[in-house]
Amino acid sequence: MFEQPRRPRRRVLTAVAALATSLSAAVIAPTAAEATVAADTIPLTITNRSGRSDQVYVYNIGTLLTTGQQGWADASGTFHPWPQGGSPPVDAPDAAVPGPADGTSLTLQLPKFSGRVYFSYGRKLVFRLATGGLVQPAVQSPADPNADTLFNWTEYTLNNDGLWINSTQVDMFSTPYAVGLQRTDGTTVTTGHLKPGGYQGFFAALRALPGGWPGLVRTRADGTVLRALAPGHAIEAGALPPGVLDDYVDRVWDRYRTQTLTVAPFAEQPDVEYYGRVAGDTMTFTDAAGQVVTSFSKPDSDSILGCYKQLDAPNDLVRGPISRTLCAGYNRATLLASADQPYNEADTFYADTVTNEYARLVHAQMADGKAYAFAFDDVGAHESLVHDGAPQHAYLTLDPLD
């Protein structure tokens, strides 16, 4: 969606193409009751329950779906394309909307757009424009101009088929918030709230782990906890050992040299199965007719944590769905628990001694257990996403840092 001259984003909710391929059971076609086309804009009410006195700044940035232009939307929902960028990147126009003070709310208009709503505390975010488009904050880089700013974002797509809006921890765990919407029938759904004490509880649990996991935490010079990097970013920043998951991968690789891994990637098509076996340094998948459909080299930890590189997931109907399923199985450490994937018994996730501890702790602190703690956390519908075909209202709640 945006120009980012650093490691690839592992998940961006520009779900228009991905939705059509039905790669996730969580994203479904509109029902007859949802057949009404979504309005051109819908209200987004931002409620500040953070308990902080800092000025909040809000940004709505992304891609206009009708033209593919990158830009930003003002409080009225009017789209503004970004001007030409440069090399080196130049400062973007100030797209900030003053947000609500603690204990108050502010309502903006969301246009038919695919992008992010950023919010920051105490200072504005710095966005820059390269020749290829917008450069977003690089949370893993201490040289990024936003490195000392407390901020977060939600991702959404609003199109003729409705609104998809989610909270995300794919890149970092930071200041807490929840998203919600009012459905066509007037009911309201929400996701993303932490348990009471969940914010501080997450950081305390992370810091108590052995190994390099405490190195994910980033603080400001004044002692303010800013964020925990997602583990893929932490590897890039040198804060987490690059072989953190290697032992688990070795054991998975050994098992499927002599056993078959069955992947049924489509919840709505349970009879579509692919069969994986390891030979040498390759896991090869065949279909029901015995034809080879794709293969994967042995993934390193970074590929697993980022769901990319050796676990690349193109937007197709074979390799992408298989890769998504493998990525979820590696991150949740379920590939040894069952030879049938995806394995969706959430109470067994992260049970191995080698697992994505960051994702485990994120899910453990969510009030409803749902999160986007890694790129394909939507496999099996364990993600923090709400959707409606003709929503009446959207909500973003800034929660306390307790």
Select from 285, 258, 256 the least CA-distant residue to 273: 285
**Token pair for 288:** 């029901």
Is residue 311's pLDDT more than 80? yes
Q: What is the pLDDT of residue 116?
A: 98
**Mean pLDDT score of the chain, rounded to an integer?**
91
What CATH number labels 246-355?
3.30.920.50
Neighbours of 86 (CB within 10 A): 12
In the chain, list all ranges with CATH 2.60.110.10.
Answer: 16-212+359-398
pLDDT at 30 over 70: no
Q: Where in the chain is the domain with CATH 3.30.920.50?
A: 246-355
Residue 38: the pLDDT is 77
Residue 191 has pLDDT above 60, yes or no: yes
Helix (H, G, I), strand (E, B) or coil at 4: coil
Alpha-carbon distances of 152 from 252, 300, 328, rounded to whole Å? 35, 28, 24
Catalytic residues: 155, 171
Res. 141: pLDDT tops 70: yes
What's the pLDDT at 26?
35
Residues 6+ apart with CB under 8 A from 27: 15, 18, 19, 164, 378, 385, 387
CATH no., domain 16-212+359-398: 2.60.110.10
What is the identity of the amino acid at 257? R
Q: Does residue 18 have a pLDDT over 70?
A: no
Higher pLDDT, 1 or 224: 224
> Does residue 34 surpass a pLDDT of 80?
no
Task: Give the β-pairing of 177-182 and 188-191.
Answer: antiparallel
Do the beta carbons of residue 206 and residue 215 sit within 8 Å? no
The amino acid that residue 233 corresponds to is H
Rounded mean pLDDT of 103-113? 96
pLDDT of residue 330: 98
pTM: 0.91
